[in-house]
Amino acid sequence: MNKKYFPMIAFVLLIAMISLSCQALSNTNNPGSSQNGTNTSVLFKDDFSSTSSGWDRHSDTSGSTDYYHEAFRIQITNQTQYYLWANPNVNFPSDVIVDVDAALEDGAEVNDIGVICRYQDSDNFYFLTISSDGFYGISKFSQGKESLIVMSELGKNTSAIHSGKTTNHIQVKCIGEDLTLSANGTELTHVTDADLTKGEVGLLAGTYDQGNVSVLFDNFIVTKP
């Protein structure tokens, strides 16, 4: 039997080359990773397993915002044409991408479920929403006045937006003057607006002619573009 022997220096070099190749492959598969394994683009993430992560917790006769069974729940009770929202009370750069899973827990399918960006106060913020019956839109409060941006009425895409109590993955991009809303990997709409340039992010639910709705949010992630 013929045996092959490698000099020690060749063996060390071989191991080093294999190690570098594996590291390069790992970084290629996860472009957001640094060499220490951390994702450099993630600014904030919350799976709501801890009730001390900073979100607004509120309850009154109109509804509530609170942690619930390792999710975050927004409930509106007996209020029509009504919005309720919560913020994590974290300062972010003006340009962010927000991802979250959202599902109707109970109540009317004619609703609003969405993400807030550039939140300055209760009278000034953007909110990008879908509904459990397939509608979507990008809106804002500016000096307390609500309006759709660019669109004259809500759009509808029942193939991209899951109906009923099924979970939808919502992604919102607020980059410069560009605001983009996607659901389950499909871009629903993109608009431009220059009114608000900075502020917090958040979660929102709303009602229309029926006053009861309960929405569960999970896997909330904020990344930089």
Shortest CA distance to 188 belongs to which of 179, 196, 198, 197?
A: 179
Q: Look up the domain containing 33 and give its range.
A: 1-38
pTM: 0.82
* 108 and 13 fall within a common domain: no
Segment 90-117, tens digit of pLDDT: 999 999 999 999 999 999 999 999 999 9
For residue 224 the two structure tokens come to 């930089």
Shortest CA distance to 74 belongs to which of 89, 59, 61?
A: 59
* 14 and 82 fall within a common domain: no
Segment 150-197, tens digit of pLDDT: 999 999 999 999 999 999 999 999 999 999 999 999 999 999 999 999
Bridge partners for 202 per DSSP: 116
* 124 and 180 fall within a common domain: yes
The residue whose two tokens read 């919005």 is 83
- Sorting pLDDT into bands at 50, 70 and 90, what band is 18? very low
The residue whose two tokens read 């039997």 is 1
Res 50 pLDDT > 80: yes
Report the mean per-residue pLDDT for the chain.
87
pLDDT of residue 36: 40
C-beta separation of 136 from 156 below 8 A: yes
* 72 and 52 fall within a common domain: yes
* 33 and 107 fall within a common domain: no
H or E segment and range at residue 10 = helix 8-29
Torsion angle of C-alpha atoms 9, 15, 20, 21, degrees rounded to 10 = 120
* 30 and 64 fall within a common domain: no
* 15 and 120 fall within a common domain: no
* 12 and 77 fall within a common domain: no
Phi, psi (degrees; rounded to nearest 5) at 24: -65, -40
Tally of structural domains, the chain: 2
Q: Which residue type is seen at 148?
A: L
* 219 and 153 fall within a common domain: yes
C-beta separation of 167 from 101 below 8 A: yes
Left (φ > 0), alpha (ψ -120 to 50) or beta: where does 53 sit? alpha
